[in-house]
């Protein structure tokens, strides 16, 4: 497959953009080769600047649940643009989308929109600290909550140790209130509480999508909820990635665990930049201008993003049964790939929640980030490159998640499995 134009485009980008990309994972560092430069998306497909076409299992990292260029979302955006790009003032569209979000989530009584998932999480943590009057937070090794300073913390041992910055430019003082625990390990969380009586919140991806795809165990989440209640600590579910993807009613509907605050993004923007955080009224009313916790954003509630999000969620609400169809297709995909991998002596660990899926080339089940790091990175890189040559676009990192859109058909799923079989055979014979 010829990618000469993509290679040239990447070379030119590297001269004026750090690393040639505006988000690090796009650089293909963990899979090798040169990133493909996209010219168009349509339905289930991406086309690159060389004219190659790929079935897209990334879908802009999640938001495009109805595929690229969905007509209803596209028309909503075009209509909104005709009335203006931005006002920096209230619009009815904000209230309309907010009401939809509140209707979907039992745990959310009020919601505030921002422009990104990073901003949503940063604001939610500030709100939790303001509500509780405490400073410390607990996060889990391997869970990614955006690139705000206090959350860029290295992996720890799972004990109640203070985190150290994992990026230059982040002062240690900014992360000294961040405690690390191990995902799916309640004892590690208990150690955090034993070491601090000043914990404002515990933040977790209940369905982790940034250390590979690892759903939290229900029992673990129930114990986590109990622990937070006993210590008068808020529980934050980061569903920027999983919200409306794993379930249209949130992880709380799958696990039976109700969070105090939920952060959202991706799907609620329908492809436009957006984020949100919401929770009980008594918590949300702490936000300025009603309360003392300050949070603001000139482009928050941008009318174009609100229009796209309203169209996306409205369509999802009207077609709620499609989630079962997407889950069936996602399960068929990973089961099929696992089967053809096994025939070549390759072991895969897989998981599916709604329209999200993930896989690891591991011998043993993956429950946390430590388990995830045991995956065969070289095998993943070879698989990724092979599938790209076959015309199938998977996430360019073994620590990311895959997504099924309504545009991906059963026939495409079978084609993907057949391609995977060819790729695995080629890898084993190399």
One DSSP character per residue, 99-143 reads: HHHHHH-TT-SEEEEESSHHHHHHHHHHHHHHHHT--EEEEETT-
The answer to whether residues 339 and 348 touch, using CB atoms and an 8 Å cutoff, is no
Pairing of strands 356-360, 214-215: unpaired
Among 144, 183, 393, 399, which one carries the catalytic annotation? 144
Among 139, 266, 315, 367, which one carries the catalytic annotation? 266
Cβ-based neighbour number of residue 154 at 10 Å: 12
Active site residue 238: yes
Please, is 310 exposed, middle or buried when counting C-beta atoms within 10 Å of its C-beta (0-12, 13-18, 19+)? buried
Note every long-range contact of 11-15, with CB atoms under 8 Å and residues 24 or more positions apart, other chains counting: none
Pairing of strands 234-239, 199-204: parallel
Cα torsion through 207, 166, 28, 312, rounded to 10: 40
Strand partners of residue 278: 111, 262
Pairing of strands 178-181, 136-140: parallel
Among 48, 56, 136, 238, which one carries the catalytic annotation? 238
Task: Report, as residue numbers or ranges, the catalytic residues.
Answer: 144, 238, 266
């Amino acid at each position: 497959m010829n990618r000469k134009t993509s290679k040239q485009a990447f070379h030119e980008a590297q001269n004026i953009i750090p690393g040639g990309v505006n988000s690090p994972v796009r650089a293909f560092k963990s899979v090798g080769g040169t990133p493909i430069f996209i010219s168009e998306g349509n339905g289930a497909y991406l086309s690159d600047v060389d004219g190659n076409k790929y079935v897209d299992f990334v879908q802009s990292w999640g938001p495009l649940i109805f595929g690229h260029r969905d007509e209803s979302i596209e028309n909503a955006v075009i209509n909104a643009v005709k009335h203006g790009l931005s006002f920096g003032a209230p619009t009815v569209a904000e209230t309309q989308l907010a009401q939809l979000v509140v209707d979907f989530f039992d745990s959310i009584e009020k919601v505030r929109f921002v422009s990104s998932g990073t901003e949503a999480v940063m604001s939610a943590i500030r709100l939790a600290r303001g509500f509780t009057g405490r400073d410390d937070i607990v996060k889990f090794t391997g869970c990614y909550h955006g690139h705000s300073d206090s959350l860029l913390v290295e992996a720890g041992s799972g004990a109640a140790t203070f985190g150290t910055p994992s990026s230059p430019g982040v002062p240690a003082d900014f992360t000294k209130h961040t405690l690390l625990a191990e995902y799916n390990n309640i004892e590690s969380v208990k150690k955090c509480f034993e070491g601090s009586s000043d914990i404002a919140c515990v933040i977790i991806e209940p369905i982790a999508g940034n250390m590979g795809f690892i759903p939290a165990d229900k029992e673990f989440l129930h114990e986590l909820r109990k622990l937070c209640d006993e210590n008068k600590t808020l529980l934050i579910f980061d569903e920027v990635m999983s919200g409306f993807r794993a379930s249209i009613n949130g992880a709380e509907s799958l696990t039976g665990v109700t969070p105090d605050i939920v952060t959202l993004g991706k799907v609620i923007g329908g492809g436009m930049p957006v984020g949100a955080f919401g929770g009980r009224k008594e918590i949300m009313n702490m936000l300025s201008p009603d309360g003392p916790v300050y949070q603001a954003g000139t482009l928050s509630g941008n009318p174009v993003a609100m229009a796209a999000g309203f169209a996306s969620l409205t369509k999802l609400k009207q077609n709620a049964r499609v989630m079962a169809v997407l889950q069936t297709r996602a399960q068929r995909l990973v089961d099929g790939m696992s089967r053809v991998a096994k025939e070549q002596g390759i072991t895969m660990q897989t998981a599916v929640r709604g329209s999200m899926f993930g896989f690891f080339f591991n011998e043993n089940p993956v429950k946390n980030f430590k388990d995830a790091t045991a995956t065969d990175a070289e095998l993943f890189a070879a698989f990724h490159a092979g599938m790209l040559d076959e015309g199938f676009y998977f996430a360019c990192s073994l620590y990311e998640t895959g997504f099924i859109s309504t545009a991906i058909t059963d026939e495409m799923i079978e084609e993907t499995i057949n391609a995977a079989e060819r790729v695995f055979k080629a890898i084993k014979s190399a």
